[in-house]
A and B are shown apart, each in its own frame.
Chain A
Amino acid sequence: FILTQPHSVSESPGKTVTISCTGSGGDIATNYVQWYQQRPDSAPTTLIFEDDQRASGVPDRFSGSVDSSSNSASLTISGLKTEDEADYYCQSYDADTLWVFGGGTKLTVL
Chain B
Amino acid sequence: QVQLVQSGSELMEPGAPVKISCKTSGYDFGTYPMNWIRQAPGQGLEWMGWISTKTGKTTYVQGFTGRFVFSLDTSVSTAYLEINSLKTEDTAVYYCARGVDNQGDYVYWGQGSLVTVSS
Q: Which of B80-101 contact A (CB under 8 A)?
A: 95, 97, 100
CB neighbours of A104 from chain B (8 A): 44-45
Whether a CB of chain B sits under 8 angstroms from the CB of A103 is yes
Please report whether the interface of chain A is mostly helix, strand, loop or mixed according to DSSP. strand
Q: Contacts A50-B103, A55-B106 hold; do A101 and B111 have CB atoms under 8 A apart?
A: no
Q: Contacts A43-B95, A44-B95 hold; do A49 and B46 have CB atoms under 8 A apart?
A: no
Q: What is the size category of the interface that chain B forms with chain A?
A: 20 to 34
Q: Which of B29-57 contact A (CB under 8 A)?
A: 35, 37, 44-47, 50
Interface size on A, residues (CB 8 A): 22
Chain B residues at the A interface, C-beta cutoff of 8 Å:
35, 37, 44-47, 50, 59, 61, 95, 97, 100, 103-112
Chain A residues at the B interface, C-beta cutoff of 8 Å:
34, 36, 38, 43-46, 49-50, 53, 55, 87, 89, 91, 97-104
Q: List 29 A-B contacts (CB under 8 A).
A: A34-B106, A34-B107, A36-B45, A36-B107, A36-B109, A38-B45, A43-B110, A43-B112, A44-B45, A44-B95, A44-B109, A45-B109, A46-B106, A49-B106, A49-B107, A50-B103, A53-B104, A55-B106, A91-B45, A97-B50, A97-B59, A98-B59, A99-B35, A99-B37, A99-B47, A99-B50, A100-B47, A101-B44, A104-B45
